């Protein structure tokens, strides 16, 4: 059977390596250097386009647990990165140039990997195809993906609102209700008095923003204005926009609040809540400072901060099975940031799972799904079952199921979840008897 992987980024490199190491031939397509993306600069595979950090190594961070799971699953990205690690405190940082160069040598010299340096515009002739073309998928190929998925399910920008861990919200400072009582009670309304609103508004105006990159400027014409831009249009504008209180009565006072910030469930479990309409370009520390002025969010843990980026990604909750296969065409798989995960490590991790499943398909076995109790399983569960529109997501502990036993202390709870995740990922590997782990 002929196998093609499109895109030799963080995800595509993992996919191709898993397939090749299991003894199967694979064509790996990469358009660089013939055609660059607006962010990549080199001809190397898995180029690190921005920060050279792979995130925290601490087990109490989602990124730390994800890396431990990836080590257990056998990650070529992490193996090579370890050779070129640079000191960065708790973070795992790499010498980006040496890392990517070495990885490229390994893949290019692998007897089972046939590297094809060309832009893919239409699906290549192969029995199994993995699409891993990333957040900056070429324009031509995006059109082809739209044909496969339906144009309404491929997004070109993410306008992300911050997401908080529901267990850290002060629910005494607001109430659950849908506007005009219509809906399914999925909104929590954080209440602000006139004075609280005015302080919040002033700080929002002062907040420092991240500058937009040239290739990102078009986004503002697409109707997803950052919250601070709405605020700049006048003191009352937010009260007619995302902070409007119409159709809402606070059961404590029997009156309409002065202003509200609505929190909406992001996953079926309701452990993640997003700030509705709060997409923003504020710098991360500024977001934490300013959004913590909302009384219900005073001590909230932000598992994700807001951003507006150029980002090509599919609505996986509508399109993908949790095996990363397309529901309608299971011989096509997606991996990497294009699935709606976010960041270097989450992208590479989905590449490992896609690689495992391609090998399973080649072995004539059923593709598999990692346990939801693991960080990689939690991420895949999120992207394939998200409520509403899919907002890209990186690793965090709110993706994992609540513990059955009561444990005091946030850090202690995370460590218990990590213990379960690492036990479950090891057991899962034992269950999957496959050449991929030989």
Ligand X SMILES: Cc1cc2nc3c(=O)[nH]c(=O)nc-3n(C[C@H](O)[C@H](O)[C@H](O)COP(=O)(O)OP(=O)(O)OC[C@H]3O[C@@H](n4cnc5c(N)ncnc54)[C@H](O)[C@@H]3O)c2cc1C
Residue 158 binds ligand X (CB under 6 A) = no
Least distance from ligand X to the Cβ atom of residue 360, Å? 21
Task: Give CA–CA dist 358/365, Å, rounded.
Answer: 10
Task: Give CA–CA dist 240/335, Å, rounded.
Answer: 40
Smallest CA-to-CA distance from 190 within 300, 284, 305, 307 is with 300
Q: Which range in 32-40, 148-156, 291-299, 405-413 contacts ligand X by CB under 6 A?
A: 32-40
Q: Closest CB to ligand X among 10 and 275?
A: 10
Residue 136 binds ligand X (CB under 6 A) = yes
Start-to-end CA span in the chain (Å): 21
Q: Is 134 annotated to bind ligand?
A: no
**Residue choice 4, 10, 107, 230 for contact with ligand X (CB under 6 A):** 10
For residues 361 and 127, the answer to whether their CB atoms sit within 8 Å is: no
Least distance from ligand X to the Cβ atom of residue 9, Å? 2
Q: Which range in 24-32, 182-190, 296-304, 354-362 contacts ligand X by CB under 6 A?
A: 24-32
Q: Closest CB to ligand X among 18 and 264?
A: 18
Q: Closest CB to ligand X among 7 and 277?
A: 7
Residue 340 binds ligand X (CB under 6 A) = no
Q: Closest CB to ligand X among 135 and 226?
A: 135
Task: Give CA–CA dist 63/301, Å, rounded.
Answer: 16
Residue 158, phi then psi, degrees to nearest 5: -110, 130
Q: Is 212 annotated to bind ligand?
A: no
Q: What mask, x for binding ligand X by CB under 6 A, covers residues 344 to 373?
A: x--x--------------------------
Smallest CA-to-CA distance from 261 within 204, 221, 209 is with 204
For residues 431 and 78, the answer to whether their CB atoms sit within 8 Å is: no
Task: Give CA–CA dist 319/154, Å, rounded.
Answer: 10
Task: Give CA–CA dist 215/37, Å, rounded.
Answer: 10
Residue 334 binds ligand X (CB under 6 A) = no
For residues 380 and 369, the answer to whether their CB atoms sit within 8 Å is: yes
**Residue choice 4, 28, 30, 99 for contact with ligand X (CB under 6 A):** 30
- Quickly tell me which residue has 């601070």 as its tokens: 228
Residue 99 binds ligand X (CB under 6 A) = no
Q: Is 7 annotated to bind ligand?
A: yes
Q: Is 55 annotated to bind ligand?
A: no
Residue 59, phi then psi, degrees to nearest 5: -65, -15
Residue 70 binds ligand X (CB under 6 A) = no
| Residue 53, beta-bridge partner list | 93
Residue 133 binds ligand X (CB under 6 A) = yes
**Residue choice 134, 257, 370, 371 for contact with ligand X (CB under 6 A):** 134
Q: Closest CB to ligand X among 200 and 344?
A: 344
For residues 306 and 317, the answer to whether their CB atoms sit within 8 Å is: no
Q: Closest CB to ligand X among 133 and 262?
A: 133
Positions 48 through 67 that interact with ligand X (CB under 6 A): 49-51
Sheet holding 91-94, edge to edge: 53-56, 91-94, 85-86
Distances (CA, A) of 296 to 172, 228, 363: 7, 20, 52
Size of interface with ligand X, in residues (CB under 6 A): 33
Residue 39 binds ligand X (CB under 6 A) = yes
Smallest CA-to-CA distance from 204 within 125, 312, 290, 320 is with 290
Residue 31 binds ligand X (CB under 6 A) = yes
Tokens of 223: 């109707």
Q: Is 354 annotated to bind ligand?
A: no
Least distance from ligand X to the Cβ atom of residue 48, Å? 7
Q: Is 11 annotated to bind ligand?
A: yes
Task: Give CA–CA dist 229/208, Å, rounded.
Answer: 12
Q: Which residues are annotated as a binding site for FAD?
A: 7-12
Q: Which residues are annotated as a binding site?
A: 7-12
Contacts to ligand X by CB under 6 A: 6-12, 29-32, 37, 39-40, 49-51, 119-120, 132-138, 141, 336-338, 343-344, 347
């Amino acid at each position: 059977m002929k196998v093609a992987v499109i895109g030799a980024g963080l995800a595509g490199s993992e996919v191709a390596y898993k397939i090749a190491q299991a003894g199967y031939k694979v064509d790996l397509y990469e358009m660089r250097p013939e055609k660059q993306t607006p962010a990549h600069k080199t001809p190397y595979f898995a180029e690190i386009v921005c920060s050279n950090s792979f995130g925290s190594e601490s087990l109490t961070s989602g990124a730390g647990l994800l890396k431990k799971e990836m080590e257990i699953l056998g990650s070529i990205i992490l193996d090579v990165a370890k050779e070129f690690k640079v000191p960065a405190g708790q973070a795992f940082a790499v010498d980006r140039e040496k890392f990517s160069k070495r990885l490229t040598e390994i893949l290019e010299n692998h007897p089972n990997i046939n590297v094809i340096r060309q832009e893919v515009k239409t699906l290549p002739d192969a029995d199994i195809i993995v699409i891993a073309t990333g957040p900056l998928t070429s324009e031509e190929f995006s059109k082809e993906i739209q044909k496969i998925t339906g144009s309404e399910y491929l997004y070109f920008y993410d306008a992300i609102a911050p997401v908080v861990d529901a267990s850290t919200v002060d629910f005494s400072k607001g109430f659950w209700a849908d506007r005009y009582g219509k809906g399914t009670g999925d909104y929590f309304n954080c209440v602000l008095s006139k004075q609280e609103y005015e302080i919040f508004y002033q700080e929002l105006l002062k907040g420092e923003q991240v500058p937009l990159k040239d290739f990102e400027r078009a986004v503002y014409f697409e109707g997803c204005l950052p919250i601070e831009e709405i605020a700049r249009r006048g003191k009352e504008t937010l009260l007619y926009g995302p902070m409007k209180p119409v159709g809402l009565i606070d059961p404590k006072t029997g009156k309409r609040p002065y202003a509200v910030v609505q929190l909406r469930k992001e996953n079926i479990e309701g452990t993640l809540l997003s700030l509705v309409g709060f997409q923003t370009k504020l710098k991360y520390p500024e977001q934490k400072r300013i959004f913590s002025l909302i009384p219900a969010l005073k001590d909230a843990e932000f598992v994700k901060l807001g951003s507006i980026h150029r980002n090509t990604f599919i609505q996986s909750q509508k399109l993908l099975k949790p095996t990363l296969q397309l529901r309608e065409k299971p011989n096509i798989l997606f991996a990497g940031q294009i699935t709606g995960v976010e960041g270097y490590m989450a992208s590479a991790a989905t590449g490992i799972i896609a690689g495992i499943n391609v090998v399973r398909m080649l072995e004539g076995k059923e593709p598999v799904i990692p346990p939801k109790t693991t960080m990689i399983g939690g991420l895949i569960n999120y992207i394939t079952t998200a409520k509403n529109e899919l907002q890209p997501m990186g690793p965090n502990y709110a993706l994992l199921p609540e513990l059955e036993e009561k444990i005091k202390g946030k850090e202690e709870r995370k460590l218990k979840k990590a213990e379960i995740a690492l036990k479950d990922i090891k057991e899962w590997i034992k269950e999957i008897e496959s050449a991929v782990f030989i």
